[in-house]
Structure 1
Amino acid sequence: MAESSNAPATREAPWPVATMSEKIAAWIDRLGTVWIEGEVTQWQLRGGHVYGKLKDLEQDATVSFTVWRSVVQKLSSDFAQGDRVIALVKPNYWVKGGSLTVQVFDLAHVGLGELLERLERLRRQLQQEGLFDASRKRALPFLPRCIGLVTGKDSDAEKDVIRNATLRWPGVVFKLHYAAVQGDRAATEVVAGIKLLDQDPEVDVIIVARGGGDFQNLLPFSDEGVVRAAAAATTPIVSAIGHEADRPLLDEVADLRASTPTDAAKRVVPDVGEELAGLDQARSRLTSRVSQLLQHEMDRIAQLRGRPVLAHPQRLVDERAEDLVRWIARGTELADRAVEDRSQSLTELRARLTALSPRATLNRGYAIAQLSDGAILLDPEQAPPGTAIRVTLSGGRLSARTAE
């Protein structure tokens, strides 16, 4: 066995396995952190940590990697088997097991994956700002006076929109703004078109149209500038990019998303034939309803005219006249009876009054003696002999003196 780990290994003095493993580990450790690129062929999440394998994109070479929980929680997007990634790693050689693995400190998609990641971040940002909220979306006018169209010059999208809109409503008017719909200039020109048409007071709705294409050709319609220009527009925006699989961000912020330019024309402009048919149906329903109402009122008038009070109005007068005669006769009878009753009562009261009056007493032979001053003489002692008195009889008065 070798006496020093620094001595070269020979047949006579070989290194122990541990010595070689430690030297490999030390050399690998000096490599530090490096960025590598590859394809994820295995991705397993256990206990919050990720264990996987990364394969070279061209050659048959694979390395195992580990992503600790603290790093997993900081990753900005999701990863899965088959993703093409770049990773900041530090190689580690496990002396005890004799295996090489790399510890991942950062991980990101590359190529199309990186682009999708950026778009996803932008989507989340705009969504958090509320630009995708349904409450922001405005209703399209029923019949726009003028339609603004942002599209490629002489493109199929332009022809589809104009042809289908004109077929549905021949009087429709367009204001066109031609813009590149792919490439580096596309986003800038589309933004300019949206702003220009939005400032035009005659334009009631703006259609941004393109006849489909692959994902990368549609990238200008996910540009942040295009999306924010559409969100800031006061005129309703219709997105007609025509791609079902990959929806650009313009679809999310637009007031209406059309599946194709043809669909946009159909949804922005009403069909004149359908509207005329609808008017005919409404006119027919209105006529039927008015006729029914008139017939109902005519029947009511006929029923009212058939009632006795309207068929023979004099009958009501006659009935009331008979009632009046009866009430007059009844009133006269009651008045006569009341007068008779009161006369009889008056006679009885008169008889009672007469019977109780002093004159009735005088008529029976009594007299009233009074002194000269008018005082009633009640006791003989009030009139000594020779006193002058007045005597009231039934037939008149006498003057007299008391005897001595």
Structure 2
Amino acid sequence: MASFEPTRSRAPGQAPPPDSVHPRDSSPDAPTSVSRLNETIRGFVANWGSVWVEGEITAWNLRGGHVFGRLKDAGGDALISFRLWSSTLQRLPDDLKTGDRVVACVKSDYFVKSGDFTFTVSAMRHTGLGDQLERLERLRAQLRAEGLFDPARKTRPPFLPHVVGLITGQRSDAEKDVHRNAELRWPQVRFRTIHAAVQGERCVPETVAALQVLDADPEVDVIIIARGGGDPQALLGFSDERLVRAVAAASTPIVSAIGHENDHPLLDDVADVRASTPTDAAKRVVPDVAEQRALVQQLRARARTRLTQRIAHDIAQLEQLSSRPVLRTPESILTTRSHELWTLVSRGRDVVTRRLDAADRQCAQLRASLRALSPGATLARGYAIAHGGDGVIVRDAAQAPMGTAVTITVAEGAFAARSEGPVPESDVS
């Protein structure tokens, strides 16, 4: 690894750079200007060359296509600020992010107007994940395998909570943001706030204790854990396994509002709702009363319009139906039907009468035919029918020899007789 050594100052007797200032050139009576001093510093800094350094990325903020970040010494607490222009960023790996251990080629730069000292990165490459990030990634994989990040186990916060629990730092901007934005959206919102350390050794135990107190409160419908961002080092407490498991075990919906959009502690994965900022958490937890009133008015207007249209449609249909003759003079249909009924009854009566007369005539004809064919007509003319004892009609005199009992049937009844034998044909006439 190359060492960082600025270029040596000018040799003895060498003229100073133009517009530079030397301690001998200034005095209380003839002080130099700030701009001249800064220009002198910039002149010295400009002579320093580029150097390769190794460290861990602790901040990576993308603004306007450029990256502004910080690099931490892998073996200590020393930090430097750096910037990456968009043209350089396009040549670097796409997966660079906070927590990565990298080697970077940096060149010092000094801003004359602000007096700020920073480094411009011309090249950067991975040397492996930082130890902390590596541990967090292992823990993240373990918790995901246990199902703690499963969306099915997460609970949606209520539409309008009775009491909102808030865990945040005392007199923090996060607390002010949550209260201000929630009260702007719903002035009657109620909070139960418990202050806890949001970084350092006290962060995890105090946050877990506050969480258990709020989770046991039956009036608290949702709990917000809020912090206003910071370096990944400061956010480590919100990736602690104790806190993550306590959040997973809570029965009250939890909203994580840690850091900004590019921060991603483990608490975000296990919480029921992840908010990008404390302001976003307030918007997700509390409905906007103005929006709700506007929505109610809109729904009322739509219902009124629908109802008015339906009533107008029904009235038009009733008017159309009532304008029909059958409804305008309903008795006319009864009169028409009564005439039709009378005509049908008369027609039916005539048809029945004709059919009965025809049936009577047919019966008379059949009666006359039967009468003409019936033996009774013959008997009425004086004839008789003789039946033997076995009921057989006597058609031959030989069937009734002398002494045979016969039954004689005449037109009006029958009588018994006994045969005297056959009669000569001469006597029959």
TM-score class, shorter-chain normalisation, is 0.5 to 0.7
**Residue 202 of structure 1: aligned partner:** 219
State, as a whole percentage, how many aligned pairs show the same letter: 52
**Residue 271 of structure 1: aligned partner:** 288
**Residue 360 of structure 1: aligned partner:** 377
Deviates more, 1:228-237 or 1:338-347: 338-347
Separation (CA, whole Å) in 2 of partners of 1:385 and 1:114:
154
Separation (CA, whole Å) in 2 of partners of 1:57 and 1:392:
153
Counting matched residue pairs gives: 306
Post-superposition offset of 1:244: 3.1
Q: 1:317 to 1:245 in 2, by over 3 A?
A: closer
Separation (CA, whole Å) in 1 of partners of 2:171 and 2:321:
73
Query: Which of 277, 281, 299 is the equivalent residue of 2:316?
Result: 299
Post-superposition offset of 1:80: 7.5
1:111-130 deviation line (CA, Å, top 9, x unaligned):
x9212221121111111111
1:213-264 deviation line (CA, Å, top 9, x unaligned):
1121111111111111111111111111123333111111111111211111
What is the TM-score when the length of structure 1 is the normalising length? 0.66
Separation (CA, whole Å) in 1 of partners of 2:344 and 2:295:
68
Separation (CA, whole Å) in 2 of partners of 1:371 and 1:229:
126
**Residue 184 of structure 1: aligned partner:** 201
Separation (CA, whole Å) in 2 of partners of 1:393 and 1:345:
29
Separation (CA, whole Å) in 1 of partners of 2:319 and 2:406:
99
Partner of 1:350, secondary structure, is helix
**Residue 348 of structure 2: aligned partner:** 331
- Assess if the C-alpha contact under 8 Å between 1:369 and 1:389 holds in 2: no
Unpaired runs of 5+ in structure 2? 1-52, 56-73, 77-98, 105-126
Matching of residue 315 in structure 1 with residue 336 in structure 2:
no
**Residue 152 of structure 1: aligned partner:** 169
Separation (CA, whole Å) in 1 of partners of 2:162 and 2:362:
101
Q: 1:159 to 1:348 in 2, by over 3 A?
A: same
1:54-82 deviation line (CA, Å, top 9, x unaligned):
xx999xxxxxxxxxxxxxxxxxxx99763
Deviates more, 1:133-142 or 1:289-298: 133-142
**Residue 251 of structure 1: aligned partner:** 268
Separation (CA, whole Å) in 2 of partners of 1:306 and 1:389:
92
Letter in 2 for 1:321: S
Post-superposition offset of 1:286: 0.8
- Assess if the C-alpha contact under 8 Å between 1:39 and 1:57 holds in 2: no
Q: What are the equivalent positions in structure 2 for 1:335-350 lying under 5 Å apart?
A: 335-350=352-367
Letter in 2 for 1:193: A
What is the TM-score when the length of structure 2 is the normalising length? 0.63
**Residue 248 of structure 2: aligned partner:** 231
Q: 1:343 to 1:212 in 2, by over 3 A?
A: same
**Residue 62 of structure 1: aligned partner:** none
Partner of 1:217, secondary structure, is coil
Separation (CA, whole Å) in 1 of partners of 2:154 and 2:406:
129
1:278-324 deviation line (CA, Å, top 9, x unaligned):
11111111111111111111111112212222111111111111111
Partner of 2:234, secondary structure, is helix
Q: What are the equivalent positions in structure 2 for 1:79-158 lying under 5 Å apart?
A: 82=103, 113-158=130-175
Separation (CA, whole Å) in 2 of partners of 1:294 and 1:328:
46
Partner of 1:82, secondary structure, is strand
Question: What's the C-alpha RMSD, in Å, of the aligned pairs?
Answer: 3.7
Letter in 1 for 2:199: Q
Separation (CA, whole Å) in 2 of partners of 1:123 and 1:384:
138
Post-superposition offset of 1:132: 1.4
- Assess if the C-alpha contact under 8 Å between 1:240 and 1:260 holds in 2: yes
Q: 1:386 to 1:154 in 2, by over 3 A?
A: closer
Post-superposition offset of 1:148: 0.4
